[in-house]
Amino acid sequence: MHARKIVVIGAGVIGVTTAHVLRAEGHDVTLLEASPAAASGTSLANGGYLSAAFCAPWAMPGLPMQACTALFNRQAPFRWRPDGSLSQLRWLRDLWAHCNAADFSTHRQRMVRLALLSRVCLQDVVAQTGVSFDFQSSGVLQIFRQSPPSQIVEKRLQELQAFGCDAHWYEPHLVRAMEPGLSHSVRIAGGLHVRDDASGDCERFVQGLLAWNQARGLLFESNVRVDSLELDARGERLCAVRSRSQRWQADAFVFATGVDTARLLRPYMRVPIVPVKGYSVTVSLAHRDGTQGAVIDDTSKLAIARLGQRVRLTGMAEVVGHDRYINNARCQQLVHHYASLYGPLPEEGRQLWAGLRPMTPDGTPIIGATPVQGLYLNAGHGTYGWTLACGSAQLLADVIAQRPCAVSPDAYALDPALRALA
Ligand SMILES: Cc1cc2nc3c(=O)[nH]c(=O)nc-3n(C[C@H](O)[C@H](O)[C@H](O)COP(=O)(O)OP(=O)(O)OC[C@H]3O[C@@H](n4cnc5c(N)ncnc54)[C@H](O)[C@@H]3O)c2cc1C
C-alpha cells in the first residue's frame, strides 16, 4: 500500500493511537487538536480500566425499568435531563430499541472481541515504544456485598471463559487477602476476579505515546479547532478541513473527535453519538493504604483503580447534553461509597473531574468509512474507550488499507444496515 497524507482530528486516546498506527504504516500523519494539550477531553481522568470482561453495552433488558426508577431517586448513578435536542431524543429511542437480550448479546460480543484485539495491540505498542503509564496487570475484581445466586455466578463465569477471559469466583477470605485495605465492618460475600484484565493511567499513556511519535516525525498541532469541511465539486469527497485561520489538505481524514463528532459532521451525515457524563475523584495515597488494584463495587457501581501513588474513583452516568459542570455532590457520593469500603479518604488534594463519554445507542463504537469519500470515523467508544483504543486504531488502519481485519469491520460501520447484518 502506498503512503498517503492523512489528517487525524482529535488527540484523545483514540486519535493518538490512530495517529501512531497510521504513522507506523508509513503514512505522513498530521494530528490536530482543539485544546492546548492532548488528552484534555474524556481521556483525561477516566477510570483507568483496561477490561475486556466488563465491556458491555448500556442497552440491556433491565435498563428501561432502572432508568424509570432512577427518575425518582436523586442518589441513583443514572440521571437524565432533556437537552432539548432532537438528537438526544432519537438516541434515547434507539437505545430503548436495543434493550433486549439478543441485541445485548450481539453488541457485547462485538465490544469484547475488539477489547481482546486491543489488549494484544496495546502490548505491541508498549513493547515498541516503552511508554509507561502506571500499568497494573493484577486484574479487575468485582466485589459483592450480598451473595448473588450461584447459578448467576456460574453463568457469568461460563460466559467470560467462553470469551477467553481468565475469570474466577473468590470466597470472602480470598477477596480480603487480595484487598487487605477493605474495612472489616463491610460485609463481603465474594468477588469475581478477572486475572487478565488490567488498569493504567490513560492520560499518561496518551502523553507518552504522542511524545514518542512526535520525536519520530508526527506533526501535532494543538489549539486548532476544525470547524468546516471542504468537499470536491461533486460533493462526494473530502478534500480539506479548515479552522478559523488555517486549511489542511490530505488524501484521508480521520475524525476521532469523541463527543463533538455528531455536531461537527451534522451537515453531512447522522452520527448517533451523545455525551454521557461521569465523574472521577483522584487522591494521592501511599501504596500500602486503600485499594491495591482495580475494584468494582457491585452495590454502588463505583469503580476504583490504583494508579501508582494515586487512587481514582469513578462512576455515574448522566444524559445531560454537553454540560461539563463538576457537580460536587455527585463526587461526594463517590467518596462516600469508597469510604464505606476502605475508610475515609484524605481531604487534601482531591482532584474532581467530569468527563463526557461519547456513547452510541448500541454501545459499539463507529470505526471506518462514511458516505463521504476520504472521511473516516473512529469515535463513539462510550464507557470503554481506553480499553478499546489500540484495537480500534488497528481496525481503522486495516479499513483504510482495504485489507482483512481481525474483527469484522461491518460490525463497527456507521451504516446501520451493515451493522445489523454483520
Ligand atoms: C467517568 C469516566 C470513566 C471512564 N472510565 C473508563 C475506564 O475505566 N476504562 C475505559 O476503557 N474507558 C473509560 N471511560 C471512557 C473513555 O474515557 C472514553 O471512551 C475515551 O476517553 C474517549 O476517547 P476519545 O479520544 O474518543 O475522546 P476524547 O478524549 O474526548 O478526545 C477527543 C478529542 O477531540 C478534540 N476535538 C473535538 N472536536 C474537535 C475539533 N473540531 N477540532 C479539533 N479537535 C477536536 C477534543 O478536544 C478532544 O481532545 C470513562 C469515561 C468517563 C467519563
Answer yes or no: is the C-beta of 9 below 6 A from any ligand 1 atom. Answer: yes
- Residue 167, sorted as left (phi over 0), alpha (psi -120 to 50) or beta, turns out to be beta
Instruction: Report the distance separating Cα 312 and Cα 25, nearest Å.
Output: 35
CA of 232 to the centre of ligand 1 (A): 30
Give yes or no for a contact between 283 and 308, defined as CB atoms under 8 angstroms apart: no
Instruction: Report the distance separating Cα 140 and Cα 27, nearest Å.
Output: 37
DSSP 237: B
Task: Give the per-residue pLDDT at 287.
Answer: 77
The grid coordinates listed for 183 are 474495612
Task: Give the per-residue pLDDT at 134.
Answer: 97
Nearest CA to ligand 1 atom 48: 41
CA of 380 to the centre of ligand 1 (A): 9
Give SS3 for 372.
Answer: coil
Instruction: Report the distance separating Cα 395 and Cα 67, nearest Å.
Output: 33
- pLDDT per residue, tens digit, the chain (422 aa), is 677 999 999 999 999 999 999 999 999 999 999 999 999 999 999 999 999 999 999 999 988 888 878 777 777 888 888 788 888 899 999 999 999 999 999 999 999 999 999 999 999 999 999 999 999 999 999 999 999 889 999 999 999 999 999 999 999 999 999 999 999 999 999 999 999 999 999 999 999 999 999 999 999 999 999 999 999 999 999 999 999 999 999 999 999 999 999 999 999 999 999 999 999 999 999 877 888 999 999 999 999 999 999 999 999 999 999 999 999 999 999 999 999 999 999 999 999 999 999 999 999 999 999 999 999 999 999 999 999 999 999 999 999 999 999 999 999 999 998 998 88
Closest CA to 15 of 368, 272, 258: 258
Beta-sheet pairing, 238-242 with 247-249 = antiparallel
pTM higher than the cut 0.95: yes
The grid coordinates listed for 113 are 472481541
What is the Rg, in whole angstroms, of the alpha carbon atoms belonging to the chain? Answer: 21
Ligand 1 pocket mutation, candidates 46, 199, 307, 377, criterion most atoms within 8 A of CB: 46
CA of 366 to the centre of ligand 1 (A): 14
Nearest CA to ligand 1 atom 13: 384
CA of 290 to the centre of ligand 1 (A): 27
Answer yes or no: is the C-beta of 363 below 6 A from any ligand 1 atom. Answer: no
Tell me how far apart the 2 most distant CA atoms of the chain are, in Å: 70
Name the amino acid, one letter, at 122. Answer: L
Nearest CA to ligand 1 atom 6: 47
Task: Give the per-residue pLDDT at 223.
Answer: 98
Answer yes or no: is the C-beta of 242 below 6 A from any ligand 1 atom. Answer: no
Q: What angle do CA 200, 204, 210 make, to 5 degrees?
A: 125
CA of 294 to the centre of ligand 1 (A): 20
Ligand 1 pocket mutation, candidates 20, 263, 364, 383, criterion most atoms within 8 A of CB: 383
List residues bridging with 247 in a β-sheet.
242
Answer yes or no: is the C-beta of 119 below 6 A from any ligand 1 atom. Answer: no
Measured distance between the N- and C-terminal CA atoms of the chain, rounded to whole angstroms: 26
Structural domains present in the chain = 5-139+197-421 (3.50.50.60)
- Helices in 25-76 by DSSP H: which ranges? 63-70
Task: Give the per-residue pLDDT at 65.
Answer: 83
Answer yes or no: is the C-beta of 139 below 6 A from any ligand 1 atom. Answer: no
Task: Give the per-residue pLDDT at 1.
Answer: 60
Ligand 1 pocket mutation, candidates 111, 246, 296, 357, criterion most atoms within 8 A of CB: 357
Instruction: Report the distance separating Cα 240 and Cα 252, nearest Å.
Output: 9
Instruction: Report the distance separating Cα 240 and Cα 276, nearest Å.
Output: 30
Nearest CA to ligand 1 atom 19: 385
The grid coordinates listed for 282 are 483522584
CA of 341 to the centre of ligand 1 (A): 29
Which string of b and e fits 85-103 if b means at least 16 CB within 10 Å?
eebbeebbeebeebbeeeb
CA of 48 to the centre of ligand 1 (A): 12
Answer yes or no: is the C-beta of 12 below 6 A from any ligand 1 atom. Answer: yes
CA of 166 to the centre of ligand 1 (A): 28
CA of 170 to the centre of ligand 1 (A): 33
The grid coordinates listed for 106 are 450481539
